[in-house]
A and B are shown apart, each in its own frame.
Chain A
Amino acid sequence: MAQAAIDIRAGELRQQVFRKYRFIDRKWDFMFWFTAAFVVAAAADITRLLFAGDWDFWTDWKDRQWWMTITPFATIIIPSALQFIQWRAWRMPTGATYTATCVFVAAWVGRVVQWKYFVNYPMNFVWPATWIPAGILIDFLLLQSRSFIVTSVIGAAVWTLTFWASNYLMLAPFLQPANFIGHTLTVADVQGITYIRAQTPEYIRVIERGSLRTFLQEPQYVALAFGTTLAVGGYWIGQFIGRYLAVWPILRYLKQV
C-alpha cells in the first residue's frame, strides 16, 4: 500500500519533470546558462585574484608549497556555492564544472588579450591554471554521494590533488634546471627574470624558500595536506555563500510573492 503511494507520488513528479511549459521553453534555459556564465566567471575569477592572483599569473610563482596550499582554497569557494545552488534548484551535479569551465574561458580570454597582446608577455609565462578536471570529479562525487558533507571532506582532497596533478603536468617543463648567467635556476625562474615585471620585483614572490619545518625534507606533501584542509574550509565558505547569500534570499522572496 505504502509502495503504491510512493509510486503514485513518483509518477506525479515524473510528469512535472517532463511537462511542457507554454511560456518557459528551452530558450529561457539557454538564456539562463549563457548570461549566468559571465557572472559566475567574474565571481570565480575575482575570488581567485583576491586570494591567489600572482600564483596564477606567473610560472615562477607556481611553486610546490604556497601555490598548492592557497590556490585550491581560493578556487573551490565559488564552485562549492554553485554546486549547492544547481543541486538544490535542479538536482544537477554541474556547479563545480560549470564554474571551472566559465572561468577557464574568461581566464584565457583575459590572458591572451591583456597579458599577451596588451603588454606582450608570452603565453607560456602567464597561462592560467585549469580547474576543470577537479570540477568534474567533485561534481561526480556529489552525484554519487548526494551529500555535501562527504563532498566537502573527500571532495576537498580530490579537488586539491586533482588541481595539483592537472596543473603540475603543464608546469613540469618549466621546472627543468637551466644555466642562467652562471647560476642554476629553473626555466620558470629564468622567465621571471627575463620578462621584466616592473612592479613585481623578484623578492616579492611568495614561494618555497626553505624552512626548518618541512617533513622529511618534503614540503610538497605537507603543502598538499594543508591545502586539502584549507580547501575543506573554502568549500564551506562557498556553501555559506550558496545557501545564505543566494538561495535563502531568493526562496524568501518567492514565498512573499
Chain B
Amino acid sequence: MKRRFALSLLGSLVAVVAAAIGTTTASAHGERAQESFIRMESVAFWDVKFSTNNVKQGEDLTITGTAKLLETWPSNLSGGNPSVCYFTVVEPGAQFVLKDRVINGAQAPQSVFCHKGGTYDFSMTLTGRSPGNWHVHPAVAVREAGTIIGPGTWITVNEAPGGFSYPIKLLNGQTVDLESYGQWLIVGFSVATFVLGMAWMIMWTWTRPTITRLAVTNQLPLNQDGGDAVGLITRQDHRNTAIIAGATVVLVGAGFLISAFAFPGRIPQQTDWITPPTSEQPASIGEASLTGAVWDPSSQSLTMTAQIKNTGKSQLTLTAFRTSYLTFVNTTARSPESGEYQMTATPAGTIDPGQTQTVQIKLPGSVFQQEELLPIGKAQMEVAGVLELTDALGTRNMDTVLTSLMPTST
C-alpha cells in the first residue's frame, strides 16, 4: 500500500515537472481559427506599425494603422450591416494598459459607430504593464460578428525598478492608482462578511451533531422544530442568531452610509460611443476588380486575374494586394517591408491613363496555407481583399475586390 502510494506520488511529481518544463508561451490568438473567407471578406488592415517592440514597465508604445470594413462584408455577420465597432488590442491577458485610442482623428474611449465600406485610421497607445514577451495585435470587434484580428508582433516589456502604477485623476481633483484603488475596502468588507458567515455556520454546527438530527426531524412537520423541549433549536440559538443577524445589518448599513458619504458625486457607468469623422480619401485614380482566381496545389500558387482601369492622369501601378492581416507586395513596384510577402504581376510595369489592363497576380500559396487562408472545402470558396493602386504622384487607392476561387483539383 505504502509502495503504491509512493509510486503514485512520484508519478504525480514527474507529471507536474514535465508539464512545467514542457510549457511554452502561448503566442496565437486564434487568428487562424476563423474561417478564411470571413477573414478575407470582412476587414482588411494596412500600414499597421508598432512604434517600438521594446518598452519598460510604464513606457508607452503606439500602434497605428488603417482598417477597412470591406464592401464584401459577409451577409451572415451582423446581418450584413456592421454598425458598432470596438477598436481594441488582442494580447494575452492584461499585460499592457490602453491609454489612448484615436479613430479617424477623434478620441474614442469606447465603441464607435461604423459602417460597411468605412475606412478607419486608428492609433492606440499602450503602456507596458507586466514584464515579459507578449504577442500583440490590433483588432476590430464588430457587434453581432466578433473580433477580427490585424497583424501582430512580439513586444518585450522589461521590468522597471518601481514596478507599475497607473495614476488617473478623478473629477474631484484626487489622483488615484488604478492598480489598487478601492482594493482595501473590497477585501476588508468581504472578509468581514466572511467572518459573520463563518460565525453563523460555527454556531450551528460546532456544538451539536448534524447528520443524526435527521432521525428526529423525520418525525416533525416541516414548519416545526419542537421548541426548547426537543432541543433542535433552543432559545440560546435564537439569541445568538439574532446577534449575528443584527451585526450583519449594522455592518451593511454602516458600511453603506460610510461609503455613500466617503464617495460622493457617483455617476452610473457611462456609454460614450462616438461617430468618428469620415476618413479623408484620396481622389480616385483607378478601378480594379477580380475576374477569377485559381489555386494550383501542385505548384502551391494562387493566381488571380484582375482588370485594372487607370481613371487618373498619370501612370498607375499595382503595388500590393492586402487581405485580412497579410500584405503581398508587387516587387517590381517596391521591396517588401518586414512582415510583408512578395507577389508577381504579369505584365509588370505601369498602366497608362485611360487604359484598362488584365493583370495576372501570382501569390505564394504557401503563405495562404500557413495562415489557413485558402477556403478550399469551405462554405464560400472565395478570395477577397484590397488591391493597392499607386500613381506617379504617390496617390494611393485601395479597391476592394472579390472573386470565386477555382482549384485545379480539390
Contact B94 A119 (CB under 8 A): yes
Shortest A143–chain B CB gap in Å is 6
Contact B200 A124 (CB under 8 A): no
By a CB distance below 8 angstroms, the chain A residues around B178 are 122, 187, 190-191, 194
Among A33, A101, A210, max chain B CB count under 10 A is at: A101
Contact B109 A24 (CB under 8 A): no
- Contact A108 B230, CB 8 Å, known A16-B215, A169-B256, A176-B170: no
How many contacts A-B (CB < 8 Å)?
299
Contact A29 B210 (CB under 8 A): yes
Contact B251 A201 (CB under 8 A): no
Cross-chain contact of B205 among A11, A29, A87, A209 (Cβ < 8 A): A29
In the assembled complex, the Cα of A199 lies from the Cα of B139 at a distance in Å of 10
In the assembled complex, the Cα of A162 lies from the Cα of B95 at a distance in Å of 36
Those of B185-227 within 8 Å (CB) of chain A: 185-187, 189-190, 193-194, 196-198, 200-201, 204-205, 209-217, 219-220, 222-227
| A246 contacts the other chain (CB 8 A) | no
Cross-chain contact of A104 among B110, B170, B197 (Cβ < 8 A): B197
| B267 contacts the other chain (CB 8 A) | yes
From B258-266, B298-306, B390-398, the one touching the partner chain is B258-266
Those of B225-279 within 8 Å (CB) of chain A: 225-227, 229-233, 237-238, 241-242, 244-245, 248-249, 251-253, 255-256, 258-260, 262-263, 265-273
| B37 contacts the other chain (CB 8 A) | no
Shortest B379–chain A CB gap in Å is 23
Contact A119 B216 (CB under 8 A): no
In the assembled complex, the Cα of A201 lies from the Cα of B148 at a distance in Å of 12
By a CB distance below 8 angstroms, the chain A residues around B183 are 122-124
Query: A26-38, CB under 8 A of B: which get 1 and which 0?
Result: 1011001100000
Interface of B is mostly: mixed
From A42-50, A127-135, A227-235, the one touching the partner chain is A127-135
Those of A74-127 within 8 Å (CB) of chain B: 87-94, 97-98, 100-101, 104-105, 108, 118-124, 127
- Contact A201 B198, CB 8 Å, known A17-B213, A173-B181: no
Cross-chain contact of B100 among A166, A173, A181 (Cβ < 8 A): A181
By a CB distance below 8 angstroms, the chain A residues around B260 are 169, 172
Cross-chain contact of A166 among B94, B193, B223 (Cβ < 8 A): B193
| A56 contacts the other chain (CB 8 A) | no
The number of chain B residues with a CB under 8 A from chain A is: 103
Contact B269 A208 (CB under 8 A): yes
Contact B245 A137 (CB under 8 A): yes
Contact A108 B190 (CB under 8 A): yes
Cross-chain contact of A33 among B179, B205, B220 (Cβ < 8 A): B205
Contact A201 B88 (CB under 8 A): yes
Cross-chain contact of A177 among B225, B248, B252, B267 (Cβ < 8 A): B267
Q: CB-nearest residue of chain B relative to A33?
A: B205
By a CB distance below 8 angstroms, the chain B residues around A193 are 98, 101, 109-110
Contact A7 B229 (CB under 8 A): yes
In the assembled complex, the Cα of A180 lies from the Cα of B99 at a distance in Å of 9
| B143 contacts the other chain (CB 8 A) | yes
By a CB distance below 8 angstroms, the chain B residues around A165 are 252-253, 256
Contact A181 B94 (CB under 8 A): no
By a CB distance below 8 angstroms, the chain A residues around B141 are 201, 203
Shortest B327–chain A CB gap in Å is 23
Contact B268 A63 (CB under 8 A): yes
| A154 contacts the other chain (CB 8 A) | no
In the assembled complex, the Cα of A193 lies from the Cα of B269 at a distance in Å of 12
Cross-chain contact of B166 among A19, A97, A184, A194 (Cβ < 8 A): A194
- Contact A136 B217, CB 8 Å, known A10-B230, A64-B268, A176-B263: no
Contact A181 B172 (CB under 8 A): no
Contact B265 A92 (CB under 8 A): no
| A153 contacts the other chain (CB 8 A) | no
Q: CB-nearest residue of chain B relative to A128?
A: B190
In the assembled complex, the Cα of A147 lies from the Cα of B222 at a distance in Å of 9
Shortest A230–chain B CB gap in Å is 20
| A57 contacts the other chain (CB 8 A) | no
By a CB distance below 8 angstroms, the chain B residues around A91 are 213, 217, 220, 225, 232-233
Contact B229 A10 (CB under 8 A): yes
- Contact A101 B241, CB 8 Å, known A175-B266, A183-B107, A191-B178: no
| A222 contacts the other chain (CB 8 A) | no
Contact B193 A92 (CB under 8 A): no
Contact A33 B210 (CB under 8 A): yes
In the assembled complex, the Cα of A30 lies from the Cα of B280 at a distance in Å of 71
By a CB distance below 8 angstroms, the chain B residues around A196 are 88-91, 94, 96-98
By a CB distance below 8 angstroms, the chain A residues around B211 are 24, 28-29, 32, 90
| B68 contacts the other chain (CB 8 A) | no
Contact A178 B147 (CB under 8 A): no
By a CB distance below 8 angstroms, the chain B residues around A127 are 186, 190
In the assembled complex, the Cα of A90 lies from the Cα of B170 at a distance in Å of 52
Shortest A34–chain B CB gap in Å is 11
In the assembled complex, the Cα of A208 lies from the Cα of B260 at a distance in Å of 21
By a CB distance below 8 angstroms, the chain A residues around B225 are 91, 146
Contact A101 B210 (CB under 8 A): no
By a CB distance below 8 angstroms, the chain A residues around B262 are 172
Contact A137 B249 (CB under 8 A): yes
In the assembled complex, the Cα of A17 lies from the Cα of B233 at a distance in Å of 10
Contact A13 B219 (CB under 8 A): yes
Contact B189 A130 (CB under 8 A): yes
The 16 listed contacts between A and B (C-beta, < 8 Å) are A10-B226, A17-B213, A136-B248, A165-B252, A175-B266, A182-B107, A183-B270, A184-B270, A185-B272, A186-B267, A187-B170, A187-B182, A189-B269, A196-B96, A201-B111, A202-B111
- Further 7 A-B residue pairs, CB within 8 A, beyond A120-B129, A181-B107, A198-B139: A94-B200, A101-B194, A101-B198, A130-B189, A176-B170, A177-B266, A201-B141
